[in-house]
Amino acid sequence: MEVAILGIRHHGVGSARNTLNYLYEFNPDHIIIEGAMELMDSIEGVDLEQFKPPVAILAYDKKEPTNSYFYPFANYSPEWQAFKYAKEYGVSMELADMPLKHIFAMNKEAKNSSSDDKTHPSLISHSNPLEEIAKLEGYESATEWWDRYFEESYYSNAKEHFASVLEVMKALRERYCDYDFEHNNQREAFMREALRKAKRAKKSRVVFICGAWHAPALVDFAKMNKDDKPLITKLPRTPVSTTWIPWTNSRLAWESGYGAGIKSAGWYEHLWRLPDDDGKEWLINVAKVFRKRDIDVSTAHVIESYHLAKALASLRGRSRVGLSELNQAVVSVMCMGDEVLLDYVTRDLIVADKMGKVPDGVDRLPLQEDFESKIKTYRLSLREDAKIYKLDLRTPRGLEKSTFLHRLDILGIKWGRLLSSNSKGTFKEEWELAWSENMELDIIDKGIYGNTIEEATQNYINTKAKESKDIVEMVELLNSAIVAKLFGSVECIIKYLKSLSTQSYEVEVLMKAVIPLIHIARYSDVRHSDEIYIDSLIDNMLHQIVASLAMACYGLSVDSATSMFELIVSLNDTIVILKNETITQDWFDALQEVASVDAVSALIRGGVYRILLDARIYDSEIVSKALSNALSVGSDALESAYWVEGFLKGSASILLLDSVIWNLIYSWLDSLDDDSFDTLLPLLRRTFSKFSAHDRAKIGLKAKQGLESKQEDKQVDVGCSDFDIIMAQKALNTTKRRLYAIK
């Protein structure tokens, strides 16, 4: 049996062209291609001419679909061209590599084994020999080095080309022998077994197309039968399924699996279509990209760029102009040295992201079929122009559509955008739906989580919850699970939240987590979940917060103090809706402790005094005394300004209604010298800019009148003699919050 071993790059223009040339010259009667044998289930019986690459085969473990693998193909993939050759000329073909039924089973074993086990192949990492030799020769990457020596030899003798690849790989494997490890040896053992099988089948002219690194390991296949047997027997296994899916150029850049890290898919596609182009056609296309964006590029620019690229290639001893020479010429001539403009070329030409197509009739993932079934049932159309859908959640169909769209959103299928929602008690949602082809890939990506949208969403959110160590993210997942009616996930997330809530967290993190959790407990429908346990979570977190709040506010920078102050205000507003007297009292006790610590930022202390005044924990006399101390002559002017900003916290009512507060702030501002006033002006402007235009106008008029008489001497026409303005303002603020919640 005559055997030809063709070492290739999985997505290489030169490799693909030389592979075709070799097949035509060698005229094999059997072709073996590196790849798991299960992929043949998807390749046999399909017309490859109906496919539009890039496409891929998705293989997954039937028992655990998230255990999966992608095998992508472009037009310039040697394997793809070999598939087409075998089908066109009726040559028998098979795939040879370690079967996925073993790989997936071993992956599961590795996942379940201890992380301290360093012997399992999936836990061992090695440097890439090609990267190391490329750096030694001064290349930035192994891709550039490989392109220079192997992919640019379009017109070389194919036999000599692959002989050269084999010799280089032999030398590299001898030098970097530690790059091989058990899993790699097992894969090559399966490849050698395929060659021995072909020999037993009396094949006379066999071609084996494989990644270049493996080529030397297949030469002496006949002599290694005894060594290979232990490597390929008694391996664990699991059932595997495969299906064709569309792919994109950008995904060919993935480094894992057979993605091969192709970051210039558009460039390789250009070389495949126009092998004779020496740079002219490419530069003409570059000029079109710039002109489309109204960037002036003339014919003279194109000619000058071409000559510069040719000169650079000559200086570097290259037989052909490469992408690096063309890019440098474009930056120098067309971009006038501005490398930012090259981003347009990268996006439109070098990557040129496009999506392949799989013909109708090819088996599809169950998740795709469920999605299509749902949109037909709900009469939702896939259209690129945006369409608005108004949903009434009081109707069964409206609620079903809302649940479906929320589940897609959780899965990362951003078909719908929620424009408005009254999740706190209303029954209307408004969605904007706009479809793009890439969203089909988003559905395919999640197909490994389940066969239906509901099953996939539940498994996906459960996986995220299991992996998350962030209590804030966990609360967000809980809220998402509730609105998507994933009650099984609600139970799962609550279990993980219970575990996380017992751990030690910074006060800011707990505050960010407990605020939405309170809203979930108060407003969300938590049927089939344990409301009492959610309440106990809230109690536990709030107790941790109040116990450490003062310490958390100690010695903060301005930015940190601002963030903490906003959290305090937000949590204070949220605690109101709990209607829990014990928690409320503990919260106000914690705020009084914060107000009493001088080392706490003036911004926070001023804001806390205002909260306690509005809650009638402090009366006007206590607050006036604190404000007087904060604005005293000996106080730092900047600290005083921060105290005032926190105290006013976007509300002008107390300035307009309390003459004591007005007089204190007015007198302080009047006492500032010119330099101090100029320094504080931006901060003061920020403080007052948060007031409404109407309130600012009233403050301006009041400022013209100067100091006011004492509040008890001022007549306020409110319709009754004992009207409590502070209490009325508090009631008004509460009413506003409740009205907002009801909307």
pLDDT, tens only, 360-418: 888 888 899 999 999 999 999 888 889 999 998 889 999 999 999 999 999 999 999 99
The angle subtended at Cα 724 by Cα 718 and Cα 730, nearest 5°, is 110
Between residues 532 and 154, the one the model is more confident about: 154
What distance in Å separates the CA atoms of residue 726 and residue 655, rounded to the nearest whole number? 12
| DSSP tag of 349 | I
Let me know whether 63 and 204 are in one domain.
yes
Instruction: Say if residue 431's pLDDT is above 70.
Output: yes
Q: Rounded to 5 degrees, what angle do the CA atoms 292, 293, 295 make?
A: 105
Lowest mean pLDDT segment, chosen from 84-98, 143-157, 616-630, 643-657: 643-657
pLDDT value, residue 529: 43
Is the same domain home to 377 and 235?
Answer: no
> Are residues 423 and 275 part of one domain?
no
The alpha-helical segments, DSSP class H, found in 468-506 are: 471-483, 487-501
Q: Could you tell me the maximum CA-CA distance found in the chain, to the nearest angstrom?
A: 114
Q: What is the pLDDT of residue 633?
A: 63
- Asked if 166 and 22 count as a contact pair (C-beta separation under 8 A), the reply is no
pLDDT bin (cut points 50, 70, 90) of residue 724 is low
Residue 685 is part of which domain span? 619-743
Query: Do 92 and 197 have their domain in common?
Result: yes
Per-residue model confidence (pLDDT) at position 740: 45
**Is 553 exposed, middle or buried (CB count within 10 Å of its CB: 0-12, 13-18, 19+)?**
buried
Give the span between the Cα atoms of 164 and 156, in whole angstroms: 11
| pLDDT one-digit tens code per residue, 543-595 | 989 999 999 998 888 889 989 999 999 999 898 877 788 889 999 999 999 99
Judged by DSSP in three states, 743 sits in coil
CA dist 536 → 492, 494, 531, 541, 581 (Å): 16, 11, 9, 9, 15
Q: Is the previous residue joined to 54 through a cis bond, with omega within 30 degrees of 0?
A: yes
Q: 481 with 461: CB under 8 angstroms? A: yes
Q: Single out the residue in 420, 454, 488 at which a domain terminates.
A: 454
374 plus 423 within the same structural domain:
yes
Domain identity same for 742 and 633? yes
Q: What dihedral angle (degrees, nearest 10) is formed by the CA atoms of 598, 604, 607, 611?
A: -80
Using DSSP, state whether 553 is helix, strand or coil: coil
542 found inside a domain:
no
- Confirm whether 260 is domain-assigned: no
User: In the β-sheet with 205-211, what is the strand arrangement from edge to edge?
Assistant: 2-8, 205-211, 30-34, 92-96
Q: Are 676 and 637 in contact (CB under 8 A)?
A: yes
| 99 falls within a domain | yes
Q: Please list, in sequence order, all residues whose beta carbon lies within 8 angstroms of the beta carbon of residue 57, skipping any fewer than 6 positions away.
A: 39, 42, 43, 70, 71, 242, 243, 244, 245
Task: Please tell me the predicted confidence (pLDDT) of residue 590.
Answer: 94
Burial of 347 (0-12, 13-18, 19+ CB in 10 A): middle
Residues 701-715 pLDDT 10s: 877 777 776 544 444
Which of 206, 241, 276 is where one domain is finished?
241
Is 562 buried (19+), middle (13-18) or exposed (0-12) by CB count in 10 A?
Answer: middle
**Quick one: pLDDT at residue 94?**
96
pLDDT score of 261 more than 90: no
From the CA atom positions of the chain, what is the Rg in Å? 35
- pLDDT at site 120: 37
The total number of structural domains that make up the chain: 4
- Residue 733 confidence (pLDDT): 61
Listed ranges 44-53, 181-190, 612-621, 653-662; the one with the highest mean pLDDT: 44-53
| Mean pLDDT over each residue of the chain, to the nearest integer | 84
Q: Please indicate, yes or no, whether residues 414 and 344 belong to a single structural domain of this protein.
A: no
Cα distance between residue 548 and residue 607, in whole Å: 18
Site of tokens 């299509």:
372
Tell whether 25 and 94 lie within a shared domain: yes
The domain boundary, picked from 351, 376, 399, lies at: 351
Would 252 be classed as within a structural domain? no
What average pLDDT does range 216-230 have in this prediction? Answer: 91
Residue 739 has pLDDT above 60, yes or no: no
Strongest mean pLDDT among 104-113, 198-207, 431-440, 730-739: 198-207
**Domain contains 370:** yes
The pLDDT of residue 228 is above 60: yes
One-letter amino acid for residue 624 of the chain: S
- Do 171 and 298 share a domain, yes or no? no
| pTM score | 0.70
CA distance 302 to 329: 10
Contact 249, 265 (CB under 8 A): yes
Residue 680 contacts residue 637 (beta carbons within 8 Å): yes
**Are the C-beta atoms of 528 and 492 separated by less than 8 Å?**
no
* In-domain check, residue 495: no
Say if residue 370 is in the same domain as residue 345. Answer: no
Same structural domain for residues 399 and 445? yes
Note the pLDDT tens digit of each residue in 262-309: 778 899 999 999 988 999 999 999 999 999 999 999 999 999 999 999
Q: Using pLDDT thresholds of 50, 70 and 90, give the confidence band for residue 729.
A: low
pLDDT value at 726 more than 70: no
Asked whether the beta carbons of 79 and 266 are under 8 A apart, the reply is no
| pLDDT (tens digit per residue) in 618-654 | 887 888 888 888 777 667 778 888 888 888 876 677 7
Residue 686 placed within a domain = yes
pLDDT band at 692 (very low <50, low <70, confident <90, very high): confident
How confident is the model at residue 695, as a pLDDT?
77
Percent of the chain, pLDDT > 70?
Answer: 87
Residue 216 placed within a domain: yes
pLDDT bracket for residue 178 (50, 70, 90): low
Q: Report which of 61, 102, 42 is spatially closest to residue 235, judged by C-alpha positions.
A: 102
Kindly tell me if the per-residue pLDDT of 29 is higher than 80.
yes
Secondary structure, 3-state, 312-340:
HHHHCCCCCCCHHHHHHHHHHHCCCCCHH
Q: Which residues pair with 242 in a beta bridge?
A: 59
Cα torsion 691, 693, 695, 700 to 10°: value is 110
Q: What are phi and psi of 469, to 5 degrees?
A: -120, 10
Q: What is the pLDDT of residues 442-488, one digit of tens each?
A: 998 898 898 899 999 999 999 898 888 888 888 899 888 888 988 88
Residue 47 has pLDDT above 80, yes or no: yes
Residue 263 is given by DSSP the state S
Chain Cα centroid distance, residue 582: 41
Determine the pLDDT at residue 121.
39
Cα-Cα-Cα-Cα dihedral sign, residues 239, 243, 246, 249: positive
Whole-number pLDDT of residue 693: 81
Angle subtended at Cα 475 by Cα 419 and Cα 467, rounded to the nearest 5 degrees: 110
Residues 70, 123, single domain; the answer is yes
Give the model's confidence band at 181: pLDDT under 50 very low, under 70 low, under 90 confident, else very high: low
Q: Are 434 and 380 within 8 A, CB to CB?
A: no
CA distance 695 to 697: 5
- Angle of the 280-292 helix axis to the 323-333 helix axis, nearest 10: 40
- Give the separation between CA 735 and CA 741, rounded to whole angstroms: 10
For residue 73, give the nearest of 202, 309, 262 by alpha carbon. 262
Angle (nearest 5°) at CA 123 between 109 and 134: 145
Instruction: Say if residues 252 and 442 touch (Cβ distance below 8 Å).
Output: no
The gap between the terminal CA atoms of the chain, to the nearest Å, is 80
The answer to whether 357 touches 52, Cβ cutoff 8 Å, is yes
